[in-house]
Structure 1
Amino acid sequence: MLIGLLLAGQHTSSTTSAWMGFFLARDRALQERCYSEQKRVCGEDLPPLHYDQLKDLSLLDRCLKETLRLRPPIMTMMRMAKTPQKVGEYTIPPGHQVCVSPTVNHRLRDTWAERMDFNPERYLLDNPAAGEKFAYIPFGAGRHRCIGENFAYVQIKTIWSTLLRLYDFELVEGHFPAVNYTTMIHTPHNPIIRYTRRKTQPQQ
């Protein structure tokens, strides 16, 4: 199980980290707020990050949630109906496969306000998805929900805590990559980004 946890999340976590970088590079003010949060939570001189501090990086957490909403690494999930399921006027018979798409659920017109916008502040609300139980499913749902969810949050928040302390990121000539739909994990197509080392460096 441990091997599966570590290896199964390799491509999904790296892809989500990449997309998060592009969203932060596109919104420089948001990027600076995330950098300021590092100083506020960890200390002005940016000492080494501790595990217990990750939970206090609330803005970074919301940025990750919004990245997973707009760019879930996997577009479809398959489930088999064990009992008849009524959907509108149609009944799904037992044994039939049902396809669920996080990409579609995360952009439902009647569920998400400003559904196409990258807005981490929506998670400050008690109910950002208008009460829909399965409107946000980047890690699936039910008994087959991804066991690596908590590990992914720790991993990606650690990665971006480190990168934000060291570098400033910006898009190259405004280029924000399209989604590469030719692979199972939906990576950025032609990813290119500009980064410069920050003048103030964290403690070693």
Structure 2
Amino acid sequence: MTAKVAVIYYSSTGNVHALAQAVAEGAAKAGAEVRLRRVPELAPAQAIDSNPAWRAHLDATADVEIATHEDLQWADAYAFGTPTRYGNVAAQLKQFLDGTGQLWFSGQLSNKAATAFTSASNIQGGNESTVLALYNTMHHWGCLTVPPGYTDPVVFAAHGNPYGTGMVGSADGPGEQVLAAANYQGHRLATISAQLLRGAAA
């Protein structure tokens, strides 16, 4: 049974966007139907223009569709990505999540697989706490979190984060090892989601 996976993210300068693409590719390799979506930018133009990399990335990804609640209803599984903000979820993604009250209340977000990934400016910059903070929302929704754990050697090669792929932000973007871990995380999410669907059908 084919799973439908929504990869929904916020990225300011492109690192999380690259991770999201890798997660989406991994899910597709596992046979999933995938939607890659970004949440709206909330920062004022003055702030964006103060960082050339931020403006360049926003312009370069203008063709990536904006996430909607319909994407959440459509999907069997979710992969959420965000840069760290003081060890927490970026406001742009948080606002999207905070607007899901009616879907949560009606039970439309429960019993779905979910995973998360992130990027911080340095190794101790809050990657783990940001992923765990994202999972708090998934717990309230009644999702089944699907972290990568230490279930494949690629996790160790990419700094060994068992909660969800995390990276040190770089102007060059994520390296091959981190992209491989993100790809594996998407594959694992889609595989387990398909297993859940088969179990429910049986």
Larger Rg: 1
What TM-score, normalized to structure 1? 0.26
What TM-score, normalized to structure 2? 0.26
